[in-house]
Structure 1
Amino acid sequence: MARMDLFDDATALTAIPIEDGRLAFQQRLDLDLSPQDVFCRLRDETDWRAEQIQVWGKLHLQPRLSAWHGTARYRYSGKTFEPQPFTPLQLHIKQAVELATGCRFNSVLLNYYRDERDSMGFHADDEPELGPEPAIASVSFGAPRTFILKHRTVPKTVKLALGDGCLLLMAGTLQRHWTHGINKERTARGPRINLTFRLIL
């Protein structure tokens, strides 16, 4: 099991050495707003929903709140998500993410982890409408949580502490070879909001 050390240069998108895909990290996305202000606005301006998804033929309530924004509908876990329009703040963050990564995005999934009991099951963002080698840009605000990647075919695990205002880029063949998720935790955690920007083809 590898725990990656993050980088001293907060403003640079830096590659993380990883097999079977591309992974890059920036400790602080360059925004003209503080991460705390962004968190509060996202929390208050977003129409959060408790969604049900289908897993192994059964409906389950997601252990977090979510919202889908952008210009394209998205289908995963047996459910189709109709987009809400980008808000001005989301567009501002999207432009900063596109500048930092050199990638273009037309949609964003927002997840609100209210405390340590909220989580994200292990999965890959490998839906056909994302294309064969999708770029997924993840931006986090609020309390840090541990992001875990597990290789599909070899016993390799990577853990990253995603803190307030950081940017993580997953690209290349990563979704084909790795799954990722966020576990529930035993120690108390404050709220966290994560945005994952995607290009729906």
Structure 2
Amino acid sequence: MRVLGLTGSIGMGKSTTAKLFAEAGVPVYDADATVHKVYEGEAVPAIEAAFPGTTFDGKVDRAKLSAKVVGDAEAIRRLEAIVHPMLRSYHQKFLDDAERSGAPVAVIDVPLLFETGGDKRVDAVVVVTTSPDIQRERILARGTMSSEALDAILARQMPDEEKRKRADFVVDTSHGLDPVRARIHDILDQVVKMPPRRI
């Protein structure tokens, strides 16, 4: 089985691309959804103990937790030491299940794939991209983020140009869904012929 890492900056169309991989019959692991799951389950007691007042009603209050850890490298390390082992077990179970099901390809959807070294744990990387104008338009159209907040997020992410340089495959979402579907089928045809690479 080949494992594809799917990544791309905010507003590039990564979630839609992940859905289209699933539509093509590929098992897809959603890293963000798994974080939500542990923040509503097994991570809650340990996070409350390490960061008192950051949970409410049996769930992590992400805004309060964020206020305590953002900009504090030591706090981020403590949080990661709690959450990462839990996420790894979900990730491994997903890969084991996909392998057992006989899937030729599985997709790991991770927003910060390069930033966290996740590209070493996959056989090939797919970067989802669009033009900076379309990206900004899509995000601001959601009405949940200011232009300044968007700039702050983009400043923390690896630039799109750098991601595209490091990708094995690039998916451009600027022209609607049909070209993306066609590109996904190309990628699936090619990746099964590639040598395995993950560590």
Flag the structure with larger Rg.
Answer: 2
Q: Which structure carries more relative contact order (alpha carbon 8 Å, separation 6+)?
A: 2
The two structures share one fold, judged by TM-score above 0.5: no
For the aligned pair, the TM-score class normalised by the smaller chain equals under 0.3
Normalised to the residue count of structure 2, the TM-score between the two structures is 0.26
Structure with the higher helix share, 1 or 2 = 2
